[in-house]
Structure formats: C-alpha cells, structure tokens
Structure 1
C-alpha cells in the first residue's frame, strides 16, 4: 500500500506544479499540495512498524 501512496503523492505534486505553471488560483494549488502531503504522510506511516 505504501508504494501506491507514494505514487499518488508524486502524481499530486506534479499536478500541483502543473496547475501553478498554468496560473491556477493559489487555493487550488495549495489544496492539491496538501493532498500530496497527506498521501506522503500516509505512505510513511504505513511503513512504520507497529503492534500487529
């Protein structure tokens, strides 16, 4: 699951960069960036050892 979240984060970062270059509003770029950060955090948390 972690690799899928990292791939999703990469796609979202690319999308945020593309939106920024196309002149999208700051709110939209920030929103997509926050989604990318959440996907990255999810991937990192998924890799952390825990009680199973």
Structure 2
C-alpha cells in the first residue's frame, strides 16, 4: 500500500484538474473552480511529500 498511495494521489490530482477544466469550459463559478484546483494541488503535493525521504520535512 505504501508504494500505491503516491500514484493514487497523483491520479486524484489529475482527475480533479480535469474536472476543473471541464467546469471552466461549462462556465461554472470561480469559487468552485478554485476549490477543485486547490484540492488537486494538495493531492499532488501529498504525493510528492510521500515520496520524499524520511526526515526531509
């Protein structure tokens, strides 16, 4: 499970960014878009942080 979690977080970030892009195309409100992008960034940063060696942060 340890090696799968970063991959899942990166995938989640991609899905959220794709959803934000789709909602932007549909003309949704900026608040929702910002929320989706923020969650996507957090997911990707979580994946990166998981891959860093212990004691780096």
Aligned residue number for residue 15 of structure 1: 19
TM-score normalized with structure 2 length: 0.87
Moved over 6 A (4+): none
1:5-44 to structure 2, matched below 5 A, reads 5-44=9-48
Aligned residues: 51
Equivalent residue for 2:49?
A: 45
- Compute the TM-score of the two structures, normalised by the length of structure 1: 0.95
Specify every segment of 5 or more residues in structure 2 that has no aligned partner in the other structure, as ranges: none
